[in-house]
Amino acid sequence: MKYIDEFRNGEVARGLAKAIAAEVEPGRAYRLMEFCGGHTHAISRYGLEDLLPDGIRMIHGPGCPVCVLPIGRIDAALWLAAQPGVTLCSYGDMLRVPGSERRSLLKAKAAGADIRMVQSTQDALALAQKRPDRQVVFFAIGFETTTPPSAVALKQAQALGLANFSMFSNHVLTPPAIAHILDSDETVKLDGFVGPAHVSTVIGSRPYEGAAAHYNKPVVIAGFEPLDVLQAVLMLVRQVNQGRAEVENEFARAVTRDGNLKAQALVAEVFELRPWFEWRGLGRVADSALAIRPEFAAFDAERRWPVPDISVADNPACDCGAILRGLKRPVECRLFGTVCTPDNPMGSCMVSAEGACAAHWTYGRFREGETR
């Protein structure tokens, strides 16, 4: 299959692994964060760490949208779902993330709340058109990849005059999170980033240039196939060895420097920056999320209802926060694989396939004795 089989070729992977091993300087540590959950998933699925020399450590980043949403926002969604006449719609993974006291949208649905799993914003819009007697609220999450469809839905709702549709926006932004990780004393120290694939198709490679130069850390944007990730590691090792801190684009088959200008314009028309947003693990991050612009206020769930703005501490037994800061690995959580599994997730990192804990558990590589 074009662009799939070629990027999963074992022989080429072994060749790339050899090239990486040849370029790694003995005794030097290369701490590389793959920001995106898609890369975390690929690394676990294809066992890429087994191909890398000891000096390279892949560190999972906070680029899984389900994982980074804090408990307070899940509680807010539960509050919305409990309002009279409301039908709350969201993606399947979001329904399973535990909120306070291990409540979840799925449990609220079982208890009688009208909560629907949808595949897209269009499903939620269609439901609002079909059920004028219900207030349909779309619980929107995601990075820059899923924001354009949300913008389209809000424009459609406005054009249709859909008075019973609104959105609870939890869209977050990648570059401010990368800058925050590099700036914070409470996150892991890094030598470079594997930059997101899908996000970068929308925003392009340019938005990473400021952080790369300011913090003197290389970024290589990479696709989600195993050879993409290995090639990106090779490019990062070369940059580190040569003392360069540039933004390079391994995923040139889909990403340009400027990205998708049409999608960016659409998002800018409908959304505006929040002064700050709370991320699980990272805490409050300035200018890191999007709110709905006043022009679309009629479709903003946070203006339609007095949605509680609460900050809730994480479950102290769950190490998701430390994992999202790159300070721990899933196997270092004492609940991993015992109390906490994908069937019974205790934290958000065990819910989505892109979550570090779920990826480690699903592909079972820790069972062979994880060393890194």
What residues make contact with ligand SF4 under the rule CB under 6 A?
318-320, 323, 330, 333, 335-336, 340, 345-347, 349-350, 357
Burial class of 275 by CB neighbour count within 10 A (0 to 12, 13 to 18, 19+): exposed
Report how far residue 58's alpha carbon sits from residue 202's, in angstroms, rounded to the nearest whole number.
25
Minimal distance, residue 314 CB to ligand SF4, in Å: 8
Minimal distance, residue 319 CB to ligand SF4, in Å: 4
| E strand residue ranges, the chain | 30-36, 56-63, 86-90, 115-117, 135-142, 165-171, 192-195, 219-221, 247-249, 271-273, 276-279, 283-286, 290-292
Spell out the residues 6+ positions from residue 303 whose beta carbon is closer than 8 angstroms to its own.
292, 297
Nearer CB in complex with ligand SF4: 39/280: 280
Alpha-helix runs per DSSP H in 250-319: 261-270, 301-304
Nearer CB in complex with ligand SF4: 178/357: 357
Nearest to 315 by CA among 100, 65, 157, 119: 100
Nearer CB in complex with ligand SF4: 125/349: 349
Query: For the chain, give me the number of helices (H) and strands (E)?
Result: 16, 13
Residue nearest to ligand SF4 according to CB distances in the complex: 347
Place of tokens 């992977």: 13
Minimal distance, residue 329 CB to ligand SF4, in Å: 10
Minimal distance, residue 199 CB to ligand SF4, in Å: 23
Minimal distance, residue 338 CB to ligand SF4, in Å: 9
Nearer CB in complex with ligand SF4: 5/343: 343
Nearer CB in complex with ligand SF4: 255/349: 349
Minimal distance, residue 59 CB to ligand SF4, in Å: 15
- In Å, what is the CA distance from 132 to each residue of 84, 119, 315? 14, 20, 39
Minimal distance, residue 196 CB to ligand SF4, in Å: 22
Q: Which DSSP category does 97 fall into?
A: S
- In Å, what is the CA distance from 83 to each residue of 54, 75, 132, 291, 349? 53, 13, 16, 21, 28
Report how far residue 263's alpha carbon sits from residue 256's, in angstroms, rounded to the nearest whole number.
14
Q: Helices 121-130 and 147-160 meet at what angle, rounded to 10?
A: 20
Report how far residue 327's alpha carbon sits from residue 337's, in angstroms, rounded to the nearest whole number.
19
Nearer CB in complex with ligand SF4: 77/356: 356
Nearer CB in complex with ligand SF4: 245/320: 320
Report how far residue 332's alpha carbon sits from residue 323's, in angstroms, rounded to the nearest whole number.
9
Minimal distance, residue 366 CB to ligand SF4, in Å: 11
Report how far residue 118's alpha carbon sits from residue 197's, in angstroms, rounded to the nearest whole number.
24
Nearer CB in complex with ligand SF4: 263/335: 335
Nearest to 23 by CA among 237, 219, 220: 237
Nearer CB in complex with ligand SF4: 99/347: 347
Minimal distance, residue 38 CB to ligand SF4, in Å: 18
Minimal distance, residue 81 CB to ligand SF4, in Å: 23
